[in-house]
Amino acid sequence: MTCAQNPYNIDCLAKYNGPVDPAIAMGGFLKPGQSLADDPKFNEATAVIITFLVNNHHNKSKLVPAMEWEKKYVEFMKNWTKTKKPAFMDIAYTSERSIEDELDRESQSDVLTILISYIIMFAYIAVSLGQLRSCSRLLIDSKITLGLGGVFIVLASVISSVGIFGFIGVPATLIIIEVIPFLVLAVGVDNIFILVQTHQRETRKPTETHAEHIGRILGQVGPSMLLTSVSESCCFFLGGLSDMPAVRAFALYAGMALLFDFLLQITCFVSLLSLDTLRQTSNRYDICCFIKGSKKDAEQEENSDGILYSFFKYVYTPFIMNKINRAVIMVIFFGWLCLSIALMPHIEIGLDQELSMPEDSFVLKYFKYLKDFLNIGPPMYFVLKGGLNFTQFDTQNMICSGQYCDTDSLVTQVYVASKMSNVTYIGKPSSSWLDDYFDWTSISTCCKYNSSSGGFCPHSSTGNSSGGFCPHSSTEKECKTCNIPLLPKYKRPDPGNFSHYISFFLQDNPDSDCVKAGHAAYGQGVNYQMNNKTVMSTVGSSYFMAYHTILKTSKDYYESMRAARKISENITNTLNNKLRESGDNETKVEVFPYSVFYVFYEQYLTMWPDTIKSLGISLLAIFVVTFLLMGLDIFSSIVVVITITMILVNLFGMMYWWHITLNAVSLVNLVMAVGISVEFCSHMVHSFSMSLEPTRRDRAADALVKMGSSVFSGITLTKFGGIIVLGFAKSQIFQVFYFRMYLCIVLFGAAHGLIFLPVLLSYIGSPMNKEKLAKQRNLNGVHIQETSLSRA
């Protein structure tokens, strides 16, 4: 405990001849609510933190030895904890490569789960497209080949999108590979079901050829497919304007995939549908089309509505369109909306590290121990950009914290901030190379120089090498004491000596004779340029290292960065104001904070503005495209946007209740939810606008009957089976951000598209299409009552 009380004791110095801060090396000594400023009792520590420093390089090829060492270290620790760890202790460990290794292991472990999920969805599509009239016609009426063709078209569109952007150079991310197939499958399958089931319900007219029949069906559903596909593609392409790289890349890939999917559906899939219809008409078996059914099977061929279609027509739609039920539905959904709006501000922002790790990961245990035992946060640096003349006393006073220094100097402001750690997240005051340099120059045993040359010489100098700097511990005959003259007023070196000896200070290693030597603490923290002729150095950029308080949650991390930026901004303004007051209007200085985690948590500082921007652009794109493609129908455009907005708001409310944080992953899912919601809404609204029923209520019921079963079987049932499998994934991030969010996207989309939207249309739907009405009158000579704006 002697070293804990006095880490600067000679016997306590580390091998690099510097002190070891007990707050960093020990843990578990702070009680709840206590801080390092409250005279911590290190003798009550319950944990010890051991750190091994490994060389790091920007060049990945030079990292191979360090990566191999870390790999062997982790393997050793795993084996040691299993076979040799004493029963009276416990240990948690990690390395810099461990998180990446565990993420790779996690991705590989969930490949089977994802594969099963997609197999279930593919199998459902292949089986459910067919009609079941009788057991004898099962293999004739099934559409397994057609369904698999639709699935391959979806996969081809995803591959095409990845290929194009890969060629351009837009990087793909793990989110893209995992999410886009789900999105394109949802959109593509819905269009497939609508096209195939409309073809099954619409019998071929006696005067129609096979090609004309297919053309008439495509003419009915093609505009709706065009509306949804263009809306979604524009939605995602404009989403590429997002400032978040993950969202931008996802939006671009998704927009291109959906565009390819639509083009392949109206060309390749229509061709497949035509071929499959010819097969069915000629009474040939699915898959084994070379086998022909009996004449008895052919005689049984007849069109039927199907169980689900009949349920929507005779049971579900009359129930929904009941006058009392419509009012109750509106009250329930608007109450749900109000509750979700109230909960939105309380959604947590960030992504806890624990969620990214498998449940059996050793890194997860390390994160837990950090929260339980660590009593100080990560190191952070206030970086002062170059531009100041440190040889001037006024400039020195703006930075230092000793005698004669300004009361609002850089180091003093950081010290004051550390006394308000609950607000500033600064746990310890910063070190100051400038103050330590002044102390170093005042200690006679610290500075030595080579009397023969006046230049530099390494510590290993044997007396006959060229050079001038000598470490203070040198016993070489050429090494003499500097005896740096200090000005009487400030006790500091004059400008010339300041520039001359600063490089000596930054190369001198500390020991018992000179604890203020700066090489260990500041050798990499002060950037200077030396003139070899004059042996004078000019100080450029430098940093002042402090420590954050213990950070346990994502909010702690990004709020600490926000506070550090605020402190840096105040320091920058103070320094520039002092420069202007001194008459220097040309020099501009900047102080900015840095810590190793800032690059990961910076996105959360603007999470809500980025979210609103991304979703707002997507909704605007849908509104414009719907308005244009539906013949400047403002009512339909507003209804679509209102319904999708309600789905999004209710998803936010669900995120609060189900503890899903707002981050790049959940934002990508929300943007995807906008695209999927178009499928739930636009088909229904387009069908409503084309209906010729006399009242809004009847037109809404007609749209629900025609599109409801296709939307329900196309998106809801397809996705539901695949999503349930994701709930069994080992990865916590899959369980939270994919299983929970995907499930709610599908359920909320179905609830709004199949319950709320038809009821809303029955109240405020667009007026009847006059052009469509006139054409129908001319064709049939039948008077059809036109709906007024006020009629429900």
Does 464 score more than 50 pLDDT?
no
User: H helices then E strands: how many in the chain?
Assistant: 33, 12
Please spell the DSSP secondary structure of 139-162, one letter per residue.
HHH--HHHHHHHHHHHHHHHHHHH
d(CA 425, CA 422): 6
- The share of the chain scoring above pLDDT 90, in percent, equals 17
pLDDT confidence tier of residue 155, bands split at 50, 70 and 90: confident
CB atoms within 10 A of CB 770: 9
Does 512 score more than 80 pLDDT?
no
Does 736 score more than 50 pLDDT?
yes
The pLDDT of residue 730 is 67
Of the candidates 761, 770, 755, 746, the residue with the CA atom closest to the CA atom of residue 791: 761
pLDDT confidence tier of residue 132, bands split at 50, 70 and 90: low
Does 457 score more than 50 pLDDT?
no
Q: Is 46 exposed, middle or buried (0-12, 13-18, 19+ CB in 10 A)?
A: exposed
The pLDDT of residue 343 is 93
Does 134 score more than 90 pLDDT?
no
Longest dimension (CA), the chain: 119
pLDDT in tens, 327-367: 999 999 999 999 999 999 999 988 887 777 777 788 888 88
Instruction: Provide the phi-psi class of 86: left if phi over 0, else alpha when psi is between -120 and 50, else beta.
Output: beta
d(CA 282, CA 156): 30
Mean pLDDT of 33-50: 77
The pLDDT of residue 636 is 84
d(CA 473, CA 446): 8
pLDDT confidence tier of residue 175, bands split at 50, 70 and 90: low
Does 605 score more than 80 pLDDT?
yes
Of the candidates 400, 489, 406, 408, the residue with the CA atom closest to the CA atom of residue 439: 400
Supply the DSSP symbol for 694: S
Would you tell me the crossing angle of helices 634-657 and 323-343 to the nearest 10 degrees? Answer: 60
- AA identity, residue 28: G
Mean pLDDT of 479-508: 86
d(CA 457, CA 338): 74
Q: What is the dihedral of CA 183, 184, 189, 190, to 10 degrees?
A: 70
Contact between 347 and 661 under an 8 Å Cβ cutoff? The reply is yes
CA distances from 45 to 34, 37, 81, 379, 549 (A): 14, 16, 22, 21, 17
d(CA 202, CA 218): 11
Instruction: Provide the phi-psi class of 496: left if phi over 0, else alpha when psi is between -120 and 50, else beta.
Output: alpha
Q: Which residue has the higher pLDDT, 307 or 386?
A: 386
- Cα 361 to its chain centre, rounded Å, is 22
Q: 128-132, 172-176, 472-476, 581-585: which range is least confident on average?
A: 472-476
The pLDDT of residue 372 is 84
Q: Which tokens sit at 135?
A: 């057991």
pLDDT confidence tier of residue 766, bands split at 50, 70 and 90: confident
Q: Which tokens sit at 591?
A: 């102080």
Does 299 score more than 60 pLDDT?
no
Contact between 543 and 383 under an 8 Å Cβ cutoff? The reply is yes
Mean pLDDT of 19-32: 79
Q: Which residue has the higher pLDDT, 442 or 570?
A: 570
CB atoms within 10 A of CB 293: 18
The pLDDT of residue 329 is 92
CB atoms within 10 A of CB 737: 23
The pLDDT of residue 413 is 95
CB-based contacts of 356, cutoff 8 Å, min separation 6: 99, 103, 106, 732, 733
Does 569 score more than 90 pLDDT?
yes
> Residue holding tokens 């030895």?
65
Mean pLDDT of 778-786: 48
The neighbouring-strand residues paired with 545 are 381
pLDDT in tens, 402-421: 888 999 999 999 999 998 98
Mean pLDDT of 722-746: 76
Which stretch, 41-55, 648-662, 738-752, has highest mean pLDDT?
648-662
Does 515 score more than 50 pLDDT?
yes
CA distances from 66 to 56, 63, 542, 596 (A): 7, 5, 27, 19
Mean pLDDT of 547-563: 90
| 610-613, Cβ contacts within 8 angstroms, sequence gap of 24 or more | 610/242, 610/243, 610/244, 610/247, 610/667, 611/662, 611/667, 611/670, 613/241, 613/242, 613/243
- AA identity, residue 303: N
> Residue holding tokens 């990004």?
558
Q: Which residue has the higher pLDDT, 786 or 518?
A: 518
Mean pLDDT of 632-647: 88
> Residue holding tokens 């070891």?
20
Contact between 150 and 192 under an 8 Å Cβ cutoff? The reply is yes
The pLDDT of residue 465 is 40
User: If you average pLDDT over every residue of the chain, what do you get?
Assistant: 80
The pLDDT of residue 131 is 65
Which stretch, 82-96, 183-197, 298-312, 352-366, has highest mean pLDDT?
82-96
Q: Is 609 exposed, middle or buried (0-12, 13-18, 19+ CB in 10 A)?
A: exposed
Does 596 score more than 60 pLDDT?
yes
Does 177 score more than 80 pLDDT?
no
Contact between 683 and 711 under an 8 Å Cβ cutoff? The reply is yes
| 490-495, Cβ contacts within 8 angstroms, sequence gap of 24 or more | 490/393, 490/403, 490/404, 491/403, 491/438, 491/442, 492/393, 492/396, 492/438, 492/441, 493/441, 495/391, 495/392
Give just the sign of the alpha carbon dihedral 195, 200, 206, 211: positive
Supply the DSSP symbol for 293: -
Supply the DSSP symbol for 480: E
Mean pLDDT of 718-745: 75
Does 308 score more than 50 pLDDT?
yes
Helix (H, G, I), strand (E, B) or coil at 542: strand
Mean pLDDT of 671-693: 82
CA distances from 470 to 81, 450, 484, 538 (A): 47, 6, 14, 20
d(CA 383, CA 388): 13
CA distances from 722 to 302, 716, 726, 730 (A): 33, 10, 7, 16
Q: Is 248 exposed, middle or buried (0-12, 13-18, 19+ CB in 10 A)?
A: middle
d(CA 165, CA 240): 13
Mean pLDDT of 643-665: 90
pLDDT in tens, 79-129: 998 888 888 888 988 888 887 787 777 666 666 777 777 777 777 777 777
Would you tell me the crossing angle of helices 495-507 and 433-442 to the nearest 10 degrees? Answer: 100
User: pTM value?
Assistant: 0.78
d(CA 389, CA 539): 8
Helix (H, G, I), strand (E, B) or coil at 451: coil
pLDDT confidence tier of residue 231, bands split at 50, 70 and 90: confident
Does 462 score more than 50 pLDDT?
no
CA distances from 34 to 38, 133, 422, 773 (A): 6, 75, 10, 77
Instruction: Provide the phi-psi class of 285: left if phi over 0, else alpha when psi is between -120 and 50, else beta.
Output: beta
The pLDDT of residue 338 is 95
Of the candidates 679, 655, 564, the residue with the CA atom closest to the CA atom of residue 261: 679
